[in-house]
Structure 1
Amino acid sequence: MEEAGTAVAQAQNLSDYQAVGVRCREALLELIGVAQDAAMWTDAPPQRANFRAWTEIICNELLPSDTNKERRGALKSALESAWTFSNG
């Protein structure tokens, strides 16, 4: 993320900004990669690059139960927005 912040500060043209998006996308995939590697799976997990499916799994595991429904929704929404923005 630090590299992406530096890159956006130095961006001057469209290809520079596209490169920032690629860096952000890589950071998001790395985030879910940590969770993928840390978990013990009894069922077949989704494909490693399926960010949306992993977002569901991670959020549901980190914030279980009805008491965390709003927090879980906010986290899912933020991750979905980040993913959409980095791919746009």
Structure 2
Amino acid sequence: MATSTITSKGQITIPATVRAALGISAGDKVEFVQVESGRFELLAATLPVSALKGMVKKPSKPVTIEEMSEAIASNGAKAK
């Protein structure tokens, strides 16, 4: 497992093995995507959008329009 240390400025050096596996080099952008509480994935921002496939799980059952409207109405009222 590759590890890095965070500097006082909040910076890290991405290990060479990780950069090679992601196909990134100096000047490339990366994205930090939260996949669950306390867990992130590092993605090369140069990847096609199809690389994001599978990151968001499908709901166990489809949500109806009525259920969506109900959730929006109840949660919207709480925000006021």
Q: TM-score range by the shorter chain?
A: under 0.3
TM-score (norm 2): 0.27
Give the alignment's TM-score, normalised by structure 1: 0.26
Higher helix residue share: 1
Q: Which has the higher relative contact order, 1 or 2, with Cα contacts under 8 A spaced 6 or more apart?
A: 1
The structure having more radius of gyration, on CA atoms, is 2
